[in-house]
Amino acid sequence: MLGFAAAAAPSASTSAASAVTSLANAAHANNFSSPFSSPDFISRTFSPSNQPLSAASLKLTSYRFKAMADTLSTPKLDSQSSVAGRRQTLISLSDKKDLALLGRGLQDLGFTIVSTGGTASALESSGVSVTKVEELTCFPEMLDGRVKTLHPNVHGGILARRDQEHHMEALEKHGIGTFDVVVVNLYPFYDKVSSSSKISFEDGIENIDIGGPAMIRAAAKNHKDVLVVVDSDDYPELLEFLRGTQDGQQFRRRLAWKAFQHVASYDSAVSEWLWKQAGEDKFPPSLTVPLSLKSSLRYGENPHQKAAFYVDKSLSEVNAGGIATAIQHHGKEMSYNNYLDADAAWNCVCEFNKPTCVIVKHTNPCGVASREDIIEAYRLAVKADPVSAFGGIVAFNVEVDEAIAKDIREFRSPTDGETRMFYEIVVAPKYSKKGLEILRGKSKTLRILEAAKNSKGKLSLRQVGGGWLAQDADDLTPEDIQFNVVSEKAPQESELSDAQFAWLCVKHVKSNAIVIAKNNCMLGMGSGQPNRLESLRIALRKAGNEVKGAALASDAFFPFAWNDAVEEACQSGISVIAEPGGSIRDPDAIDCCNKYAVSLLFTNVRHFRH
């Protein structure tokens, strides 16, 4: 067939024949077994349909063979280097932290280092001898770097099992050497797409690594024979391991786990980003949440339960604030319950626009007050329930300076005027230098946290047996809703303000929830009772005589009014009630409030909190 084509175009045949001869010689000279060098491949390339080729086609084909021949003639590694005792390492890094340390260490141990692009240049600049991956693959980097290591000479050397004779025979047949160590990290996709300077969709796509994950997964799968490293923190331990004489499989398995986890987290970021780019529903058909261990905890809710704390590394959580990313300036290590209580206090205090103090016990706010003078707000929050506040969590939405820090340190309990108030945690958006110094002097154990405000629009996840519930966060504030007057008596401006304040507090109290407030200060609350009437009675008892003229907020509607919660609230002296409405007995609630000349507001928004 080749002769037929040559007869049709003599001038092109000479060029083509020369190219084929060069290719064959190059292949034999390099002991290179390839489909390119087989006669079948040559005939298929020149005439797959057994038809003569035109002179132009034959000329183009000859150029292609010449390019292949030139590539194949490039010197490459001794294919049996690892088999013969010379160990090989493959290094390809985006993050080149401690690369010189690693390269010199491996070189001192006698490893031949194969590397790519910028990594190779960085190693050479550090005085480390490098074989570039093109010399191994006999193929240049192409497609703007998309294809560098996706080649049998790379993946064959990683995936071959040393204990399988036919694997090693295949490597020898094709002139491929083995790799003993693979060190790879990935394109900085996460950092790129989460940076404040937004990148285009096209740039995001180009930052998705392909060759890197393939090498990592290959090495991790074959970890019995190949050590895989994805974290620069593991370089010293790797070098120490290689200097030893024992081959511990546990170390290899731990590195393999870390490698697969690294790729899984990377892929979850890509998946999350692409789902948002597709503009689909907020809840995808499948969801992966990448979690990173922040600390092991002494125990869980109770001493017999083991526990740990993880940080959510989802793209949606980048710079989104919250207790998980808070800075601890002082005190004992955080416990499981500390995190829950601090989160509850911080979420509540961040809802308020005015300077506010919130005190939480067992995730429920027991004291809340807003004042221009933050010291006054703090004292009022303690006064709301000083017994519960003792040993609680104190949160502020303004800077803690010297003055408020002194008051936190010295303030005595309103119950006896003598006992100095004790707290587990103080959390605020920032601290003055002097304020921080004073708080540190209050107690060696006091945990001092500096946190950023939670962003709105987050996804809220909660575990149930065998699954997870997902929902939008309850981000609504009084400015987002209407307080509709349904009673004959309309509230005065101050009463409406009190109702809005109580409504903002009650959304953070466990259901069934009742909050009584006046003058931007919580007076009492009832939480977590199976019936709303009992929650009301607890709140009234805590409010005491101050209930006269106060506002009441309920997290859900009142199922009954007469001889029940609504009437008891009216009889106690409450001046305005805010509730969602929606009960079939709403007319009873309206009639009851009209009888006692109490203003009734329907919000049409429920705030269940379980």
Q: What secondary structure letter does DSSP report for 388?
A: H
Quote the CA–CA distance of 388 and 368 in Å, as a whole number: 12
Check pLDDT > 90 for residue 406: yes
Catalytic residues: 221, 362
Q: What is the pLDDT of residue 144?
A: 67
The pLDDT-based confidence of 151 (bands split at 50, 70, 90) is confident
Q: What secondary structure letter does DSSP report for 480?
A: G
Hey, which residues does 181 pair with through a beta bridge?
89, 227
Quote the CA–CA distance of 116 and 150 in Å, as a whole number: 12
Nearest CA among 147, 141, 139 for reference residue 69? 139
Quote the CA–CA distance of 340 and 213 in Å, as a whole number: 36
Question: Looking at beta carbons, which pairs linking 80-86 to residues 24 or more positions away fall under 8 Å?
Answer: 80/172, 80/177, 81/112, 81/177, 82/157, 82/177, 82/178, 82/179, 82/180, 83/168, 83/171, 83/172, 83/177, 83/178, 86/110, 86/112
The pLDDT-based confidence of 386 (bands split at 50, 70, 90) is very high
For 66-124, the pLDDT digits (tens) are 444 444 443 344 434 444 457 898 998 888 989 999 999 999 898 988 888 888 899 88
Check pLDDT > 80 for residue 157: yes
The pLDDT-based confidence of 17 (bands split at 50, 70, 90) is very low
- Quick one: CA dihedral 318, 320, 323, 327, positive or negative? positive
Check pLDDT > 70 for residue 33: no
Check pLDDT > 80 for residue 517: yes
Check pLDDT > 80 for residue 59: no
**Can you spell out the DSSP letters for 83-98?**
TTT--EEEEE-SS-TT
Q: What is the pLDDT of residue 14?
A: 40
Q: What is the pLDDT of residue 361?
A: 95
Q: What is the pLDDT of residue 459?
A: 87
Residue 506's H or E segment, with its range, is helix 493-506
Strands (E), 70-143: 88-92, 112-115, 131-132
Strands 356-361, 392-396: pairing is antiparallel
Of 286-290, 335-339, 377-381, 388-392, the least confident:
286-290
The arithmetic mean of pLDDT across residues 245-268, rounded, is 88
Residue spans of alpha helices (H) in 140-208: 152-159, 165-174, 189-194, 201-206
Of 33-37, 302-306, 324-328, 485-489, the least confident:
33-37
Does residue 451 contact residue 429 with C-beta atoms inside 8 Å? Answer: yes
Q: What is the pLDDT of residue 130?
A: 86
Quote the CA–CA distance of 393 and 359 in Å, as a whole number: 5
Q: What is the pLDDT of residue 353?
A: 94
Q: What is the pLDDT of residue 372?
A: 96
Percent of the chain whose pLDDT exceeds 90 = 52
Nearest CA among 401, 307, 411, 321 for reference residue 359? 411
The arithmetic mean of pLDDT across residues 452-465, rounded, is 89
The arithmetic mean of pLDDT across residues 180-195, rounded, is 85
Report the chain's mean pLDDT, rounded to a whole number: 83
Residue 132's H or E segment, with its range, is strand 131-132
Q: For the chain, give the number of residues.
A: 610
For 576-605, the pLDDT digits (tens) are 999 999 999 999 999 999 999 999 999 999
Residue type present at position 356: T
- Quick one: CA dihedral 57, 60, 66, 69, positive or negative? negative
When comparing pLDDT for 432 and 204, which is higher?
Answer: 432
For 163-187, the pLDDT digits (tens) are 888 888 888 888 888 899 999 988 7
Q: What is the pLDDT of residue 169?
A: 82
The pLDDT-based confidence of 13 (bands split at 50, 70, 90) is very low
In the block, residue with structure tokens 């489909």: 35
Helix and strand counts by DSSP (H, E) for the chain:
23, 21
Does residue 550 contact residue 575 with C-beta atoms inside 8 Å? Answer: yes
Residue 469's H or E segment, with its range, is strand 467-472
Check pLDDT > 60 for residue 550: yes
In the block, residue with structure tokens 């490459």: 76
Of 61-65, 179-183, 375-379, 419-423, the least confident:
61-65
Q: What is the pLDDT of residue 15?
A: 40
Q: What is the pLDDT of residue 246?
A: 67
In the block, residue with structure tokens 């959580």: 317
Q: What is the pLDDT of residue 482?
A: 93
Quote the CA–CA distance of 354 and 357 in Å, as a whole number: 10
For 321-366, the pLDDT digits (tens) are 999 999 999 999 999 999 999 999 999 999 999 999 999 999 999 9
Check pLDDT > 50 for residue 36: no
Q: What secondary structure letter does DSSP report for 422?
A: -
Q: What is the pLDDT of residue 177?
A: 84
Residue type present at position 445: T
Quote the CA–CA distance of 75 and 238 in Å, as a whole number: 31
Phi-psi region of 421 (alpha: psi -120 to 50; beta: other; left: phi over 0): beta
**Can you spell out the DSSP letters for 548-594?**
TT-EEEESS--S--TTSHHHHHHHHT--EEEE----TTHHHHHHHHH
For 415-427, the pLDDT digits (tens) are 998 999 999 999 9
The arithmetic mean of pLDDT across residues 204-214, rounded, is 83
Hey, which residues does 501 pair with through a beta bridge?
none
Quote the CA–CA distance of 333 and 331 in Å, as a whole number: 7
What are the distances in angstroms from CA 55 to CA 1, 23, 119? 14, 20, 44
| Other Cβ atoms within 10 Å of 165 Cβ, number | 9
Q: What is the pLDDT of residue 37?
A: 37
Check pLDDT > 60 for residue 9: no
Does residue 553 contact residue 576 with C-beta atoms inside 8 Å? Answer: no
Check pLDDT > 80 for residue 453: yes
